[in-house]
Chains A and B, each alone.
Chain A
Amino acid sequence: GAGVSQSPRYKVAKRGQDVALRCDPISGHVSLFWYQQALGQGPEFLTYFQNEAQLDKSGLPSDRFFAERPEGSVSTLKIQRTQQEDSAVYLCASSSDRTGLKTQYFGPGTRLLVL
C-alpha cells in the first residue's frame, strides 16, 4: 500500500545545472500531476498526464521545463539550465480518476535549491 513517492527529497544545484526529479505514483493511477510550490505560497499547477499522454502542460514556466511519463507510470520532471527562481518544492500527485475530480494523493515533494 505504498503512496506516491518522489526522489530525491532534497536537491541542491548550481545555477545552470540540469536536474531530474522523479515521481512514482500509486500503482494503477491514471492521472499524474506536477505542481511547483514556492516558499509561503500555495502550489501552482505545472502539467498533467493521463497515462502516458501529457494532456496539459500550460503551467510549465518556460521551455527549460520538460516532463515525461513514457510508460504511463513513473514520471520525470526535468529542469534544464536551472535558475535561482526555480528554487521551490516540486510536488507530484496521482489520482485514479481520468477527470481529476477525485482525490489526488500527494507525494512528499522534492525541495530544490538552486545556488
Chain B
Amino acid sequence: KNEVEQSPQNLTAQEGEFITINCSYSVGISALHWLQQHPGGGIVSLFMLSSGKKKHGRLIATINIQEKHSSLHITASHPRDSAVYICAVVSGSRLTFGEGTQLTVNP
C-alpha cells in the first residue's frame, strides 16, 4: 500500500463542472502539497497547506489532519485545467508523492 493514495486515477469532466480530487496518506506529515503537471513534465506548485483550507482563484484545497485526508476542488472547470494533479506530503526533509490524477476537461 502506497503511503500516499489519490482518487480517482482518471477523471473526465465537462466544462463548467465542479471537480474533486482526493488524497489520503498514512504517514505523519508536516505539510501537504498539491501540484499540477502538464504534458511535457513541467510541475507547478498549487498549494502547500498544513491545516484548514486555502483558496486561489477557482482552486480550493482542504486538509483534515486527524483523518489524514486532503481534497483539491476546481470550480467552473475549464479545458485548460486538463493536467495531472499530484498530492505530495512532507515528512522529514522529503516529499512523498501520490501517483497523480489525470484530469481531462472537455469543452
Contacts and interface: CB of A to CB of B under 8 A. Distances in A.
A56 B41 contact: no
Contacts of B76: none
- What band does the interface of chain B fall in when counting residues whose beta carbon is under 8 Å from A? 20 to 34
B98 to A, nearest CB: 5
A35 B44 CA distance: 15
B41 A41 contact: no
B43 interface: yes
A44 B97 contact: yes
Interface stretch (B12-20, B62-70, B87-95): B87-95
A108 B86 contact: no
B41 A100 contact: no
Interface residues of A, number: 27
Contacts, number: 63
B98 A108 contact: no
A45 B94 contact: yes
25 contacts: A33-B94, A35-B95, A35-B97, A40-B99, A41-B100, A42-B4, A42-B99, A42-B100, A43-B97, A44-B97, A45-B95, A45-B96, A48-B93, A48-B94, A56-B93, A93-B43, A99-B93, A100-B95, A101-B48, A101-B90, A103-B45, A106-B35, A106-B43, A109-B42, A111-B41
**Top 3 A-B residue pairs of the complex, sorted by shortest distance between their CB atoms:** A42-B97, A106-B43, A109-B41
